Amino acid sequence: MLATVLGVTATTTARPLAVPGRPARRRNQARDFRTTRWGWAYSAPAVLIFATFVIVPTGYTFYVSLWKWNALNPAMSTFKGVGNYQRLFAATQPTFLSSVWHSLYFSGAMVIGGTAVSLAMALLLQRGGVLLNASRVALFVPHATPVIATSMIWVWIFNPRFGLADWVLHSLHLPTSDWLQSSGSSMPAVIIYSLWHEVGFTTVVFLGGLATLPNELSEAARVDGCSAWQEFWYITWHQLRPVTTFVVAITAITSLQAFTQFYALSGGGPVYATTTLSYLVYQEAFVLSDTGYGAALAVVLFAVTVLFTLVRRRTAAGSESSLV
């Protein structure tokens, strides 16, 4: 039965059959246009902006990473070659690997937790109605707020002596926590805040995906005797794979680059427990004025992000081809 359902899924969600040759010709036409002078002229403003604010700074950052950089007077900088990259593995406060681990810890929790929670919320809210529509708005509102402002509020919510979080736990006769004051609980606290702030956006993405799904497959599955869980697992979520891939990729990339909540909530502490790679870049380059080392960290962060992007592209390509 499930094989039937899966078979139906595979054929019914396939894209309309393309006329052989047509899309290829369209692509060729596009490519041809891009190589004309008009093509270059039209794309020049975008290329210029991209080059100015992305490509050149990226190249410059790599260049700076090779120096003991005197940001106040670059002429007084001294060439270090790969010295700053060697320091990555010699540093102890914090160690480079610990900051990588904190980045992965945070990103993993956000990807898994954020995707699961937002998918669950989307399923709950997809039916519509006044109350559910209001709930959608309420869920999205945190995402519309500035991270720096709400982080400052959450600092007080997490205050172990006067905060709302411990008051609620205490009222429910549950064990309280030191939240941001303890190395063990500070990262979970930042994750709780980040989920609160981000889930609204990813829920809306899932809601958008759910709105495009045809009902026929679900009805057929129910006729075939699928349980609600089987219907979700084999029909609904299967069709949402491209959306899920998008959510996972976006969440992973934004989580790797997350900074503001770490800056405002925990300052990377206590004892570097929330010092992620992106926070460490800021701290070394802009607070401690160790610009060359900070640039080396930024290059590594760039490489990790590129890696994630390539994985996403490969995964996305795989998920799309599986539906064709």
Q: Which residues bind other proteins (CB under 8 A)?
A: 51, 55-56, 58-60, 62-63, 67-79, 90, 92-94, 155, 159-162, 178, 180-183, 267-272, 275, 283, 286-290
Q: 287-291: list long-range contacts, CB under 8 Å, 24+ apart.
A: 289/71, 291/64, 291/69, 291/70, 291/71
Q: Which is nearer to other proteins, 59 or 318 (CB)?
A: 59
The least CB distance from residue 146 to other proteins, in Å, is 16
Q: 211 with 126: CB under 8 angstroms?
A: yes
φ, ψ of residue 273 to 5 degrees: the values are -65, -20
The least CB distance from residue 1 to other proteins, in Å, is 48
Is residue 278 exposed (0-12), middle (13-18) or buried (19+ Cβ within 10 Å)?
A: buried
Q: How many helices (H) and strands (E) does the chain have?
A: 17, 2
Q: Which is nearer to other proteins, 95 or 319 (CB)?
A: 95
Q: Which is nearer to other proteins, 47 or 141 (CB)?
A: 47
The least CB distance from residue 72 to other proteins, in Å, is 3
In whole angstroms, give the CA distance from residue 158 to residue 142: 17
Q: 300 with 80: CB under 8 angstroms?
A: no
Q: Which is nearer to other proteins, 63 or 233 (CB)?
A: 63
The strand pair at 78-79 and 67-68 is best described as antiparallel
The least CB distance from residue 115 to other proteins, in Å, is 31
Q: Which is nearer to other proteins, 17 or 90 (CB)?
A: 90
Q: Is the dihedral of CA 279, 282, 284, 288 positive or negative?
A: negative
Q: Which is nearer to other proteins, 115 or 283 (CB)?
A: 283
The least CB distance from residue 220 to other proteins, in Å, is 45
The least CB distance from residue 198 to other proteins, in Å, is 24
Residue 14 tokens read as 């396939």
Q: Which is nearer to other proteins, 29 or 52 (CB)?
A: 52
| Residue 79, strand partner residues | 67
The least CB distance from residue 89 to other proteins, in Å, is 13
Q: Is the dihedral of CA 265, 137, 312, 57 positive or negative?
A: negative
